[in-house]
């Protein structure tokens, strides 16, 4: 299976619906920026989920008694998940 086609060696690329454009086309930069935003949201969500796990461990030890913290982190995770999905559509 080939991993590359060498077609981009000429400085152009094909957009989603088959239109060939120069790699300097503003749409290429825009799509890349959206991809970065989605990746950032996914990374943030993973960090918040990991934090939630740590909060649960601290609650089990009795070191955190405020249950609102975990609820907040869960809602934040939901918002990040929805935001990432919205950006992808």
Asked whether residue 81 is domain-assigned, the answer is yes
> Is residue 3 a part of any domain in this protein?
no
Q: How many angstroms separate the CA atoms of 85 and 89, rounded?
A: 7
Query: Is 44 within the bounds of a domain?
Result: yes
- The number of folded domains in the chain is 1
- For 3-26, the pLDDT digits (tens) are 666 665 778 888 888 899 999 999
Task: Give a yes or no: residue 64 inside a domain.
Answer: yes
- Residue 5: inside a domain, yes or no? no
Model confidence at 86: pLDDT above 90 = no
- Say if 15 falls within a structural domain: no
Question: In which domain, by residue range, is 66 found?
Answer: 26-88
25-77: pLDDT as tens digits:
999 999 899 889 889 999 999 999 999 999 999 999 999 999 899 999 999 99
- Phi/psi for 49 (5° steps) reads -65, -40
* Whole-prediction pTM: 0.70
- Kindly tell me if the per-residue pLDDT of 89 is higher than 70: no
């Amino acid at each position: 299976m080939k991993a590359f086609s060498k077609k981009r060696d000429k400085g152009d690329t094909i957009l989603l619906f088959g239109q060939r454009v120069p790699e300097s086309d503003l749409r290429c930069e825009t799509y890349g920026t959206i991809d970065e935003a989605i990746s950032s949201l996914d990374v943030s969500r993973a960090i918040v989920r990991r934090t939630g796990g740590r909060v649960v461990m601290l609650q089990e030890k009795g070191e955190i008694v405020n249950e609102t913290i975990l609820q907040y982190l869960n809602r934040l995770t939901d918002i990040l998940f929805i935001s990432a999905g919205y950006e992808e559509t």
